[in-house]
Structure 1
Amino acid sequence: MQQIIDRFISYITIDTQSNPDSNNTPSTEKQWTLAHLLVAELKQIGMQDVTIDDNAYIMATLPSNIDKQVPTIGFISHFDTSPDFTATNVKPQLIKNYDGGDIVLNKTENIILSPNYFEDLLQYKGNTLITTDGTTLLGADDKAGITEIVTAMEYLINHPEIKHGTIRVGFTPDEEIGRGAHKFDVAAFGADWAYTMDGSQIGELEYENFNAASAKVTIQGKSVHPGYAKGKMINAISIANEFMSLLPADEVPQKTTAREGFFHVHHINGTIEHAELELIIRDHDMEKFNARKQLLQEITQKLNTQHGDYIKIEVLDQYFNMREKIEPVMHIVDIAKEAMESLDIVPIIKPIRGGTDGSQLSFMNLPCPNIFAGGHNFHGKYEYVPVESMQKAVDVIVKICELTAQRN
């Protein structure tokens, strides 16, 4: 497992945060640092046809070592990290033989990773954990996935007795800001199907995700001296608050789970003269998803009727539930499920409460379920990953390659 630890740490100590305010691809120059390292490493371990394009999309091939025709499959991960929390100067901590108690991430700041709050920790007693030092995110999302793919390819290269067809790997920028698949060349990738290694806890196998949209509400007010404002002032802040009050109070991220959808206001700023709300809409069910978007339009119309035509809304679809594209080819999920079960991993098949490159790629005619990468508490200082989970993910990749060749 030391190889996995060393490789993972070499990736996470490179800052690759993406930036939603940039129109470039990749959205930050610093993503190139890890991209170039990955290209060199793929060549060093013996991968063929290693390429990187002008947008930092990386592809490589492990040629088939059998003499029969089998499907070409792919494995994909992203190398950017979330802009939600700093990734500068990551200092990972190694917790060997975790005892099930509190982990002090940062004594000075009294930041503690505790199973009393994060109950999932208890299933990893005896494991080796990699955590943050409490001041940055870790980057397991999705540098754990990259670690696992590179390690699995190296293992297959060093063990030619394991028979497999042609394997393609792809590493992408900007997944965390919803653009990871936007410039992915599916035709050049040339796989019949693929798997993103971008899930969380060991055993996760996902082929459903949210339908997703974003909305921006703009409110134009009128500022008048408050002593003489009756019948004249239009307070954009008050209207913004009224808009939020008309959203279903219980349909928010902190009160929903499983296939329950939500509205999530994530930014608000304003003055009396001008206010803006930014929110996202999520639902696994397409009919309910469309109803949510319609509700936003109805709220806007209602408030415009009450206050005058001062509110504008822009709703943009972001991605859709990949289940529609996976169900016709469910054998690709079955192979992953069989791979896990053969390794004594209990598959956890559940909908993703989020998005993944796989959802967009599936609608680009590359069916792409999602497999666990092993990390927990992504996008923040409490992020951690068990090394044993990463090793199991490597084993799953190898087994999928083997089973795909055997089944065909």
Structure 2
Amino acid sequence: MFHSNLMKGTVVAVAMLTAPAAFAQDDVTLPKTMIWTSYDLGSTGYVEASAMADALDKKFGTAVRLTPSGTAIGRLLPLVRGRANFGFMGNEILFASDGTYEFAAADWGPQDLRVLMGRPAAVGLVAGNDTDVETMADLKGASVGFVEASPSTTMNTEAALAFAGLTPDDVEKVMYPGYGAMMSAFVAGEVDVVPVTTTVAALREAEAGRGFHWLDMSADDAEGWKRVTGRASLFQPITMTKGAGISEENPAELLGYSYPQLTTLATTDEDEVYNLLKALDQAYPDYKDANAVMANWKLEESGRTPSGAPFHPGAIKYLKERGIWTEADQAWNDQRIAEIEKNKEMWAAATKAAKEQGISSDGWVAFWEQYRTENAQ
């Protein structure tokens, strides 16, 4: 299991990565070099990581080498094996913390990850104007797009359905081999509803054709949001005024979450994290205009809970100094850490039970998922 077998060597390995002489500037001490993982070339996450890395180089002389990957495992494995210091991650850090989806494999399990900051983002459901789906209350029986082998997209859709008191069994699931195929089908009018972020280019095509509208999830619906956060604790209400089909006059109330999230291991040195977050805060003016959403990395927005994993103590220390971290943030963080510890205990107990019952490696994932469901409360 990676979180037990590899963590012992991680602190040493990461220390070696940052071994080149560190130096101080503007009350910040950074290593001369760092390695970050990121989303693949061409992605928003890669562009944003590149902008931050360039700003650190120009302001502090720290060279950041990015190692992009198109998969969650590819972004996380270098951190766990001590080959990278930090990673620009998505919702996979929630799955990795819980030991679910691809991280339910026997050689993974719950990971001790921590966040430094995460850009506020939004996702929601859109419906074609040629359908009978006007609001979330109309979703039952509608055709809804799902993407094969895409845990993040599936979680987004299930969370939105939960807001309406529904599950995937209450709608007509239409499976697609990839996100692009799903959006092409939506533009062509072949599916009623799809999950989407506010900046997806395909929405402009739909706008020029069948038309679409966002299905609002009002922050005033306390019961709906209770169901959402029960499904995934990383979501919170957000009102978007920019994006496809959205304006100041026509805002959309959606699922708010963080993407990307600057992530590291819980074992990463507190001072190292503190100094990096402080440096990124000071360098903010140098990267805030890199793209249309980069300004949302402003620490007053990106340094808040909820997130896919708990915040690192080094990050919390700096956020407290800046007057950003609140008692509510701390309460959320403490609860999320407790959840992860519970998952780790369940993983250990399930591993022991599987061995006693002679569960094969092929049967492990199903065994773990059932064990976790039965013992989660």
TM-score normalised by L of structure 2: 0.25
Over alpha carbons, which structure has the higher Rg? 1
Higher relative CO (CA 8 A, sep ≥ 6), structure 1 or 2? 1
Query: If the length of structure 1 is used for normalisation, what is the TM-score?
Result: 0.24
Q: Which has the higher helix share?
A: 2
